[in-house]
Chain A
Amino acid sequence: MLNNNFLWSFFSSVKLTITLLVLIVLVFIAATFLPSQDVFQTFAGQLSPGTAKIFFFFRLSDLYHSPLFYFLMTLLSLNLIICSINRFPILWRQYKAPHFPEPAGSFDNLPQSLIITEAKEISKIKLIVKSSLKKKYRSGKETDTERGSVFYAERGRFSLFGVYIIHLSILVMIAGAIIGSIFGFTADINIKEGETVNLANLTKGNGIKQLNFSVRCDKFIVEFYEDGTPKTYRSDLSFIKNGKVEKQGSLLVNHPLTFDNFRFYQSSYGAAPESKAIVTYTIAGKKGGSIGVAAGDTFDLPEGKARGFVMRIEENIMEMGPAVKLRIISPEKDIQFWVFQQLDKLLAMKPNLFSEAPMLNPGLFKPFVFSIDGVEHTYYTGLHIVRDPGIPLVALGGLLMIIGLIIVFFMSYQCIWVRIEQQDAKISISITGRSNRNNQQLQNKIDYLCRQIDQELKA
Chain B
Amino acid sequence: MNHTMILSWVTFIYFVSFVLYLFRLITGKKFWGRAASFLVWAGLIAQTIALLLRWKTSYSMGIGHVPLANLYESMVFFSWSIVLIYLIIEWRTKNKIFGVFVIPTAFLAMAYASIAPDINNRIEPLIPALQSNWLTSHVVTCFMGYAAFAIAFGCSLIYLLKNKKKGDVEKPEGFSGKLPALATLDTLIYQSTTLGFVFLTIGIMTGSIWAHYAWGSYWSWDPKETWSLITWLIYAIMLHSRYVRGWRGKRMAILAIIGFACVLFTYLGVNYLPGLHSYLRT
In A216-268, which residues have CB < 8 Å from any B CB? Answer: 225, 227, 229-233, 252-256, 263, 265-267
- Answer yes or no: B84 CB below 8 A from chain A CBs: no
CA distance A25 to B234 in the complex (A): 8
CA distance A300 to B230 in the complex (A): 67
- Answer yes or no: B112 CB below 8 A from chain A CBs: no
In A354-403, which residues have CB < 8 Å from any B CB? Answer: 384-386, 388, 391, 394, 398, 401-402
B215 touching A265, Cβ below 8 Å: yes
Q: Which residues of B contact A252 (CB under 8 A)?
A: 128
Q: Which residues of A contact B226 (CB under 8 A)?
A: 28, 31-32, 64
Known: A24-B233, A28-B226, A31-B221. Is A405-B198 also a contact (CB below 8 A)? yes
- Answer yes or no: B202 CB below 8 A from chain A CBs: yes
- Answer yes or no: A100 CB below 8 A from chain B CBs: no
Proximity bits, A412-427, B CB within 8 Å = 1, else 0: 0000000000000000
In B203-220, which residues have CB < 8 Å from any A CB? Answer: 205, 208, 212-219
B205 touching A398, Cβ below 8 Å: yes
Known: A21-B236, A256-B213. Is A394-B131 also a contact (CB below 8 A)? no
- Answer yes or no: B240 CB below 8 A from chain A CBs: yes
- Find the B residue at minimum CB distance from A399: B205
A14 touching B244, Cβ below 8 Å: yes
Known: A28-B230, A253-B128. Is A386-B217 also a contact (CB below 8 A)? yes
Known: A254-B213, A256-B216, A402-B201. Is A32-B227 also a contact (CB below 8 A)? yes
Proximity bits, A1-35, B CB within 8 Å = 1, else 0: 00000000000001001100110110011011100
- Answer yes or no: A330 CB below 8 A from chain B CBs: no
A253 touching B230, Cβ below 8 Å: no
- Answer yes or no: A131 CB below 8 A from chain B CBs: no
Q: Which residues of A contact B132 (CB under 8 A)?
A: 254
Give the tally of cross-chain contacts (CB within 8 A).
Answer: 95
Q: CB within 8 A of B129: which of A227, A254, A391?
A: A254
In A124-159, which residues have CB < 8 Å from any B CB? Answer: none
Cβ of B266 to closest chain A Cβ, rounded Å: 10
B125 touching A229, Cβ below 8 Å: yes
Cβ of B153 to closest chain A Cβ, rounded Å: 18
B213 touching A231, Cβ below 8 Å: no
- Answer yes or no: A406 CB below 8 A from chain B CBs: yes
Known: A14-B245, A402-B201. Is A229-B127 also a contact (CB below 8 A)? yes
Cβ of B267 to closest chain A Cβ, rounded Å: 14
Known: A22-B237, A405-B198, A409-B198. Is A253-B218 also a contact (CB below 8 A)? no
- Answer yes or no: A352 CB below 8 A from chain B CBs: no
Size category, A interface: 35 or more
- Find the B residue at minimum CB distance from A35: B274
Count, chain B residues at interface, CB 8 A? 40
Q: Which residues of A contact B198 (CB under 8 A)?
A: 405-406, 409
B218 touching A231, Cβ below 8 Å: no
A253 touching B201, Cβ below 8 Å: no
CA distance A399 to B127 in the complex (A): 30
CA distance A208 to B236 in the complex (A): 42
Known: A31-B221, A230-B128. Is A21-B237 also a contact (CB below 8 A)? yes
Known: A227-B125, A405-B197. Is A25-B233 also a contact (CB below 8 A)? yes
- Answer yes or no: A186 CB below 8 A from chain B CBs: yes
- Answer yes or no: A316 CB below 8 A from chain B CBs: no
In A72-120, which residues have CB < 8 Å from any B CB? Answer: none
Known: A22-B237, A25-B234, A256-B216. Is A401-B201 also a contact (CB below 8 A)? yes
Q: Which residues of A contact B205 (CB under 8 A)?
A: 398, 401-402
Which of B194, B212, B233 gathers the greatest number of chain A CB atoms within 10 Å?
B212
CA distance A14 to B243 in the complex (A): 11
CA distance A17 to B237 in the complex (A): 9
- Find the B residue at minimum CB distance from A386: B216
B202 touching A402, Cβ below 8 Å: yes
Q: Which residues of A contact B273 (CB under 8 A)?
A: 32-33
CA distance A32 to B221 in the complex (A): 9
CA distance A232 to B216 in the complex (A): 18
Cβ of B260 to closest chain A Cβ, rounded Å: 15
Known: A14-B240, A25-B230. Is A394-B218 also a contact (CB below 8 A)? yes
CA distance A18 to B247 in the complex (A): 13
- Find the B residue at minimum CB distance from A176: B218
- Find the A residue at minimum CB distance from B124: A229
Known: A32-B226, A394-B218, A402-B201. Is A231-B212 also a contact (CB below 8 A)? no
Proximity bits, A55-75, B CB within 8 Å = 1, else 0: 000000000100000000000
A28 touching B229, Cβ below 8 Å: yes
B241 touching A233, Cβ below 8 Å: no
CA distance A267 to B212 in the complex (A): 13
A405 touching B201, Cβ below 8 Å: yes
- Answer yes or no: B63 CB below 8 A from chain A CBs: yes
- Find the B residue at minimum CB distance from A13: B244
- Find the A residue at minimum CB distance from B198: A405
Chain A contact residues, CB within 8 Å of chain B? 14, 17-18, 21-22, 24-25, 28-29, 31-33, 36, 64, 177, 186, 225, 227, 229-233, 252-256, 263, 265-267, 384-386, 388, 391, 394, 398, 401-402, 405-406, 409
Q: Please give me the 7 A-B residue pairs with the lowest Cβ-Cβ distance, nearest first.
A: A253-B128, A265-B216, A225-B125, A254-B132, A386-B216, A32-B223, A14-B244
21 sampled A-B residue pairs with Cβ under 8 A: A14-B240, A18-B240, A25-B233, A32-B227, A186-B216, A225-B125, A229-B127, A230-B128, A231-B128, A256-B213, A263-B216, A265-B216, A266-B128, A267-B215, A384-B215, A386-B216, A386-B217, A402-B205, A409-B194, A409-B197, A409-B198
